[in-house]
Chains A and B, each alone.
Chain A
Amino acid sequence: MKRSLFGRLWPNATAVVLFAGFVFPVYWMFATAFKPTGDIISENPVWFPTNITLSHFKKAVDADHFWTLVVNSVTVTVLSVVFSLVIALFAAFALARLRFKGRRGLIVTFMLAQMAPWEVMIIAIYMIVRDNDMLNSLVPLTVFYTMMVLPLTVLTLRGYVAAVPKELEESAMVDGCTRVQAFRRVIFPLLAPGLMATSLFGFITAWNEFPLVLILNKDVEKQTLPLWLSQFQTAFGDDWGATMAASSLFALPILILFIFLQRKAVSGLTDGAVKG
């Protein structure tokens, strides 16, 4: 199909404008973080940071408890992703490869569980955790984050397992492998990309989670980065440089992961409901 010059131009022009609009807040976060305070609070915005400074980052990193909370956030996130992947892998294999009574019901159950309104269940979870004397601990966070991620992990992994040709497994078993060995040596290596893509959703969910840690852990030493960041601005007043440096540090790991894994993830995401 031939298109006029105008017909080619407007989509491209729109795309550039949209790109700028979507990127600008992210750009502004990083740009502000590197600008000296004089350039941040100036009558006219300084669009490109020319005098680079790292003082805001130093301020964020030196803030009380910062490193404790980094360790907390990383611990809780990594553990819940690993736990949910392990638990989900068993279930995903059964749901993809085996035929049994109640299979369909299970799939529907996980679909329902995937939509669970965790934000609205925090009072009940608070009571449960409190009755078990587990407030101000990372254990309930890890356990519930695992659960938040689990249903979608099961459903997406099921898709990845189903995509591995049955014949590979069967021929391995003809060669004398047991079913477990066939899974370990044949299917599992082929699942690696799928596991990585699936874990992205888990990382984002656990790294982002805010309401539950807000209600469960009043002790600063046991909180995570999202809570710290939301209170950072209150603590630092209008020190936007420091706030943006803190936001940048918090966002960077996820942005990097996303850029790397997004390609693999998008195909998997279309099957399930995911919000990064």
Chain B
Amino acid sequence: MSVQTQGTDTAGEPAVRKARIPRPPRGADRDPASPARRGAGAPYLLVLPALLATVVLLGWPLVKNGMLSFQNLNPRQLIQHLTEWNGVENYRSVLSEPEFWHVVERSVFFTAVNVVLIVGIGTLIGLLLARLGKRMRLLLMIGLVLAWAMPYVAATTVYQWLFAQRFGVVNWVLDRLGWHSMADHNWLGSQFSTFFVVIVLIVWQSVPFVAINLYAATTTIPKELYEAAALDGAGAWQSFTSVTLPFLRPFLYSTTFLEVIWVFKSFTQLFAMNEGGPDRLTETLPIYAYVEGVGNQHFGVGAAISFLTIVALLVITSYYLRMVLKQEEDEL
């Protein structure tokens, strides 16, 4: 397997052997009838390449990130390949930096606004899809899929053009609607309006995923439930709150978590739009870590910011997984 040879030519690093992905100590789900069979080692052999890749290519960067965050790593140390441990100094300087807390607030706000809009609009469109006839549904689906499939950077350049200061469609429309001060508005000139453009972009790209999957979920609701509700004299609204909503609740919870994770770690759209500008005012945590670490060459500090972000994401992810595993208990 050529991949493995590529993956292992860097395995001379002892860090690899230390990198272990924590696994829940569970083996209780064994099939009692199988171990005696010929080839008891076969499953492990089959899983080995994927597991090895995960341990090396995901575990190692995570461990490396942790190690870097405890090092004084600036241009001099970088060029001379020096390892200078400096304890929790990076974390102290990051956490005592008011700018860092601004970025945290900004990231939380940015994520919250996006997720509320994505899940809200996505749910409404998903329910609309369920109500439409065949042809109209197909039409709307085509629109959703096109927006969904647009590559990030291509979508970002298109939005730069839509919101362009001169000759951009958005300013022209606003001017026509009577908001004449917007005729020459520079959308990427201030923090608020840059965020506005990026949020419109991310919501436009992310709603289709929620809408299409929510519609798919509604198709699995047994018809009998609605019939029973109708027999009980439930109106449209009541059958929605008593049948549809409870059925979709698990889906909505897990989708919300997923979107939180995706939006919180998003990098490309914000960076390609305005590189976190103007004046570094639209940097969220991932971009802040990149600009501090790589742009300003404070690699240790950048790693500390990254690590704090990763830990926050890990907490959210583990909540999400616990929820999903509860839902799929029987399937695993």
| A-to-B contact residues, CB < 8 Å | 11-12, 14-16, 18-23, 25-26, 28-29, 32, 40-42, 44-45, 83, 86-88, 90-91, 93-95, 98-113, 115-117, 119-128, 132, 139, 142-144, 146-147, 150-151, 154, 204, 207-208, 210-211, 214-215, 226, 229-230, 232-233, 238, 240, 243-244, 246-248, 250-251, 254-255, 257-259, 262, 266-267, 269-270, 273-276
Contacts and interface: CB of A to CB of B under 8 A. Distances in A.
B42 A94 contact: yes
A94 B43 contact: yes
Contacts of A207: 151
Contacts of B53: 87, 146-147, 150
Nearest to B230: A1
A106 to B, nearest CB: 6
Interface in B139-153: 139-140, 142-153
Contact of B299 (A26, A123, A267): A123
Contact of A238 (B132, B166, B302): B166
B158 A29 contact: yes
Contacts of A139: 6
A40 B266 CA distance: 31
A105 B24 contact: yes
A45 B143 contact: no
Contacts, number: 309
B206 A275 contact: yes
Nearest to B49: A87
A229 to B, nearest CB: 5
A41 B125 CA distance: 35
Interface in B1-37: 1-3, 6-7, 10, 21, 23-27, 29-31, 34-35
A87 B140 contact: no
Interface of B: 1-3, 6-7, 10, 21, 23-27, 29-31, 34-35, 40, 42-44, 46-47, 49-51, 53-54, 57-58, 60-62, 64-65, 68, 125, 128, 131-133, 136-137, 139-140, 142-162, 164, 166-167, 169, 172, 204, 206, 208-209, 212-213, 216-217, 258, 261-262, 265-268, 271-272, 285-286, 289-290, 293-294, 299, 302-303, 306, 309-310, 313, 317-318, 320-321, 324-325, 332
Nearest to A259: B145
Nearest to A125: B61
A258 B143 CA distance: 12
Nearest to B294: A215
Contacts of A146: 3, 53, 57
A111 B317 CA distance: 10
Contact of B303 (A28, A104, A123): A123
Given A93-B46, A208-B152, A26 B157 contact: no
Contact of A254 (B6, B46, B149): B149
A90 B47 contact: yes
A83 B62 CA distance: 22
B265 A208 contact: no
B21 A86 contact: no
Contact of B261 (A40, A115, A244): A115
B27 A101 contact: yes
B68 A127 contact: yes
B208 to A, nearest CB: 7
B56 to A, nearest CB: 9
A42 to B, nearest CB: 7
B31 A99 contact: yes
Given A18-B125, A112-B321, A115-B317, 12 more contacts: A11-B136, A15-B128, A22-B143, A91-B51, A100-B30, A104-B26, A105-B24, A109-B23, A123-B303, A143-B57, A146-B53, A150-B53
Q: For chain A, what secondary structure do more than half of its interface residues adopt (helix, strand, loop), or is it mixed?
A: helix
A19 B142 contact: yes
Given A112-B21, A143-B57, A117 B3 contact: no
A251 B208 CA distance: 17
Nearest to B302: A123
18 contacts: A11-B131, A22-B147, A25-B150, A25-B158, A29-B161, A104-B26, A112-B21, A117-B265, A119-B266, A123-B293, A123-B303, A143-B7, A210-B152, A210-B271, A243-B157, A251-B151, A266-B216, A276-B148
Contacts of A151: 54
A276 B144 CA distance: 11
B30 A124 contact: no
B49 A91 contact: yes
Nearest to B212: A266
A238 B30 contact: no
Q: Max chain B CB contacts within 10 Å: which of A21, A116, A270?
A: A116
B10 A132 contact: yes
Contacts of A32: 161
B64 A26 contact: no
A105 B28 CA distance: 11
B310 to A, nearest CB: 5
A230 B272 contact: yes
A246 B204 CA distance: 21
Contacts of A117: 261, 265, 286, 309-310, 313
Contacts of A276: 148-149, 209
Contact of A94 (B23, B46, B262): B46
Closest 5 CB pairs of A and B: A99-B31, A258-B149, A124-B65, A22-B143, A91-B50
